[in-house]
Structures are given as C-alpha cells and as structure tokens.
Amino acid sequence: MMSLLNHTTIFSTTAGLKLPLRFDLLKKSKHIKFQISCSNSYITPNKFKRQYTSVLIVPTGVGASIGGYAGDALPVARTLASVADCVISHPNVLNAAMLYWPMENVLYVEGYALDRFAEDLWALQPVHHNKVGLVLDAGIEEELRIRHLQVVDATRASLGLPVVDYIITDTPLEVEKWIDPKSSQATGRIKHPDSLLRAVHALSDRSMVDAVAVVARFPDDDIEDVDDYRQGKGIDLLAGVEAIISHLVVKNFRIPCAHAPALLPPPLTKSLCPKSAAEELGYTFLPCVLAGLASAPQYLTDNSELQKSGCIVASDVDSVIIPADACGGDAVLAFANKRIKPLIICVQENETVLNDTPDKLGIDVVKVSNYWEAIGVVAAHKAGVDPNSLRRDGIKNITSTTSLLSFNNCVASSSRTFV
C-alpha cells in the first residue's frame, strides 16, 4: 500500500476494452492517473467502401527518366502504397538489384501477366508465400554460379525466403541484346529458348514450385557501352531481353517469373549516378527478384477461376499511372477501352524514347507534371474528391451535354422538371 501512496500509477487501456469495475473509486485517488488511448488495430474499416487499387507502370527498356535505371521508381511505389490500399506494379519498378523494399499492399506482377490482367483474361490471386525455384543458365561460369547460389542461401537464412530448388539448363541460353534502330528500345533474344522451357518444366515437375527466378549469362559490354547508363543517361541495354525471357516463361507456364542477369562486376568508378548505383553493390542482381517472387500473386487464367472469391480483376482497378509518352502498351490501351474506365494519370516529367501520347491515341487522361502531383490526384480520387477542385479556378460552371431530355420515349423540353 505504501508504494501506491508514494508513486503515481498509470493505468492504460485501449478503446473498446472494459475498465475494472471499481474504476469509479480508483479514479478519485490523486495518486492514480488514467490514460485512454485508441489503436488503429481496433478500429473497424469502412465496410461500405471497397479497397482502392492503383496500377503503376514504367515500361522496360525505353529509357524512362524515372524507373529506367536500377530501381529508381521504387520510391514512387513506396509513396503510392502509403495512399492506395493496393498497388499493382511490375519488376522493372520494384527491382533494385541488391536492394528492395517489402510492402504488404504491393503486388509484384510480371509484365506479360499484367497485360493479360488488364485485358480481363487473367486475375490475380494474392498469396501468403510461394515456393520459389531458380533456373541458372549453363553458360554461367563456375565462380559466378557459386556467387549466385550463395546469394540464394543468404536470402534463405537471413530473410527466410522459401527458395526450394535450382536447376541448370541443359544448353547455354546464349543471350543477345541490341537497340532497335526504329523504336530506340532495348531488345534482344535468347538463341536456345527451348532449353529454358525444359528447365522450368523439369523444375516444376520435380519440386512443384509456384514461381521461378531465371538467371541468364549476359554478354559483358565494353565499359564505354554502359557508361551513359552508369551516369543516369541513355537506355538500360539489358532490360529489353530480360522482359522477353520472363514473358516466355509466364506465357508458357502461367506462374510468376522474373529475371536477373549474370554479369561480371564492372570496374570501379568514382563518377556514378545514384539512380544506377544499386547495381554496383554486389556480384548479382538476384536478391530483389527472390524477394518479389516469394509473395507474388498467382495468376488465375481459366474462365471458371476469374470470379474466384478473393481474387483481383481488372474492374477492381481505380487508377493507372503511366509516363505521358508511353500510353501505347497493351495494359494501358486495355484499361482505356473499358466501359467503366479507371482514372489514367500521365506523368509528363517521366520522359521515354516512345511517342505514344494520350492525344495521339485518343485516350482520356489526367495530365500531371510529376509523381508528386500524380499521387495527390490518387489521394483526391480515393477520397471521392474531384482532383480539379484542389486547383485554383479548377471548377468551371456546370454545363448540359444536351438540350433535350428523353423520358418514356417522349421528347420534352429540358426546362421541365421530373420528380
């Protein structure tokens, strides 16, 4: 009892929990203070509103000013994820070589699958985790292969990632890459795609993996060829054929896939753009790929599965954010042609080598200068607020789209009032 008299005791409770029955007596003591706090974990979500879903796209291998380098669009994804309830994006946005950022409300969706999702052909099924398998190109030298396997073990031991098996292709894939002279985009091919498909098939049969990471040996460039990229200029020469590799696997096996190139480390440079620096940190680009695939959603591709409870379909998407000159991709065109369209937001600051503008394609969009504004538009849209009402003189006088109203198949003057 002496300790009660000599010390002030603080009782804390959370909203929704019952206090002791003798609270009315205890609160009269000058030695006892009560602190009432509320926790978000006890607040019931608004069950009358569905989740707000936004799609963030930065096309691969097109020299995007933001997102065309080593995961430099990841800060955009992190910020958008703090506003939207669900963000759907793809490896080019979320991968940063040795770096990545776990976000529970961000879905890691490969580009081919994202296009099919937007076209209402596939749905996304969120998961708790995936069993991940690894395919290594037979063309990777022994020391470089060991480095990649050590990275796998590190992610298993330090991050607990469920990477369960690996396989080496029966033939070197022989990757080739180049810049398309017509479009100025990065592209390329693998000479032995069947070897890759056989490896994925064998891995799937042997270990029943849910997702696949592919590591192909890429040709080492002369340093002059990649100097612009390291300085934050030009195009990522690897990105185009990386997309071709992951598209091939996803198209044939309909499971999540992402690619990491195997390269020898470049010589040290003191002059390096921060946007490209993530690729200078280690021997491989694999950690971000494994982290993304470990929780990537599964793809539902049968018509009978598309309405499965808990899956996400294209009609759930509320907004799409895209560089202003990159509106010609399959996903954006599919969203733009829907009867009930999501809000399409074009970011003019994020320039690419493309010229697929909304005006050229006849797409109705909201144009913004930068990603600050884009995420502000998303916040307003989620709140049910016309984004124009946040601008000076953004709201004009309301006008009528027609001077006549049709009512019960009769034409009447628009001045007539119907109750």
CB-based contacts of 338, cutoff 8 Å, min separation 6: 314, 315
- Which range of residues forms the domain containing residue 11? 2-42
Between 20 and 264, name the one with better pLDDT: 264
| C-alpha–C-alpha distance, residues 362 and 253, integer Å | 35
Distance CA 169, CA 196 (A): 6
pLDDT at 19 over 50: no
37 domain-assigned: yes
In a domain, 8, yes or no: yes
Say whether pLDDT at 414 is over 50: no
- Measured distance CA(262)–CA(213) in Å, rounded: 12
Predicted pLDDT at 329: 96
Mean pLDDT (whole number) for 324-344: 96
Model confidence pLDDT, tens digit, residues 35-65:
444 333 333 456 677 899 999 999 999 999 9
pLDDT, tens only, 118-165 = 999 999 999 999 999 999 999 999 999 999 999 999 999 999 999 999
Cα gap 233→65, rounded to integer Å = 8
Among residues of the chain, what percentage have pLDDT more than 70? 83
Please give the DSSP secondary-structure letter assigned to residue 40.
Answer: G
User: Has residue 29 got a pLDDT over 80?
Assistant: no
How far is residue 184 from each of residues 115, 235, 236, 237, 241, measured CA to CA in Å? 22, 9, 11, 11, 14
283 vs 259, more confident: 259
**What local confidence, expressed as pLDDT, does residue 36 receive?**
40
What is the pLDDT confidence band of residue 304, given thresholds at 50, 70 and 90? confident
Whether 216 is covered by a domain: the verdict is no
Q: What is the mean pLDDT of residues 176-182?
A: 92
| Residue 358 to residue 376: CA distance in whole angstroms | 20
Q: Is residue 35 part of a domain?
A: yes
| Residue labelled with tokens 């990491």 | 260
Answer yes or no: is 23 within a domain.
yes
pLDDT tens profile 193-236: 999 999 999 999 999 999 999 999 999 865 556 777 777 777 88
Q: How far apart are CA 212 and CA 167, in angstroms?
A: 11
Number of domains composing the chain: 1
Residue 28: inside a domain: yes
d(CA 350, CA 59): 11
**pTM of the full predicted structure?**
0.84
Q: Is there a domain that residue 207 lies in?
A: no
Q: Mean pLDDT across the chain, nearest whole number? A: 86
Structure tokens at 284: 């491989």
Task: Decide if 311 contacts 284 (C-beta within 8 A).
Answer: no
Q: Is residue 399 part of a domain?
A: no
**Tens digit of each residue's pLDDT (9 = 90 or more) over 352-398:** 999 999 999 999 999 999 999 999 999 999 999 999 999 999 899 99
